[in-house]
A and B are shown apart, each in its own frame.
Chain A
Amino acid sequence: GESVGLHLPTLSVQEGDNSIINCAYSNSASDYFIWYKQESGKGPQFIIDIRSNMDKRQGQRVTVLLNKTVKHLSLQIAATQPGDSAVYFCAENIWGAQKLVFGQGTRLTINP
């Protein structure tokens, strides 16, 4: 569900290290999930998506893992770069509904 009233949790990672951002979703009827990246003052941008019939999907330097048993989603970013610094949101699409509901978000900071 939405946690829009809470301050964003933060994660700091050294440049070149891997990072893992986690997200818990509440609706077991959700069947499609997306990770978005939002840079300061801009709209969110699509990173990677995964459907509920999968448990892992890989992109360029990013991997999304889905654990439907515990309703948990994670985004792994390999070999982080300064440009990866941003706020990352997970979003879920509840089956039968044509809308995306966003999670709380995590602010990722890459330290040089």
Chain B
Amino acid sequence: SQTIHQWPATLVQPVGSPLSLECTVEGTSNPNLYWYRQAAGRGLQLLFYSVGIGQISSEVPQNLSASRPQDRQFILSSKKLLLSDSGFYLCAWSVGGSVNTEAFFGQGTRLTVV
């Protein structure tokens, strides 16, 4: 069966520090991978998605970047965090090559920038 791992679960970082959140998927090949952000009490905003290694699509201009160094690994990064980067970050995957398929979510990382 497929599983998705996202870590860490919580993170407190100072303003100006770098960020690296990692997400890995097991049990499937060539998945579509996604990073979403959710502010407290708000909806989910799609940040990045990837349909293959090295292929990243950015949905909104921001202080973040994403990379996919391996087929089932998706990394969210920042060189210098801002207070506005605080939020709940969710990684998700869906079956690659299919446009009508659900996305499966990780448990999320709650990031607080102080």
The chain A residues found within 8 Å of chain B, CB to CB, are 2-8, 31-32, 34, 41-46, 49, 51, 89, 91, 93, 95-105
B105 near A45 with CB under 8 A, answer yes
The smallest C-beta distance from B77 to any residue of chain A, in angstroms, reads 20
B43 near A99 with CB under 8 A, answer no
Contact residues of A: prevailing secondary structure? loop
Chain B interface residue count, CB cutoff 8 Å, equals 32
B110 CB contacts on chain A under 8 angstroms? 41
**Contacts A42-B107, A43-B107, A44-B90; A96 near B99 (Cβ below 8 A):** yes
Count how many pairs of residues, one from A and one from B, have CB atoms less than 8 Å apart in the complex. Answer: 83
The CA of A101 and the CA of B44, in the complex, are separated in Å by 8
The answer to the question of B98 belonging to the interface, with a C-beta cut-off of 8 Å to chain A, is yes
B90 CB contacts on chain A under 8 angstroms? 43-44
The CA of A91 and the CA of B108, in the complex, are separated in Å by 18
B51 near A4 with CB under 8 A, answer no
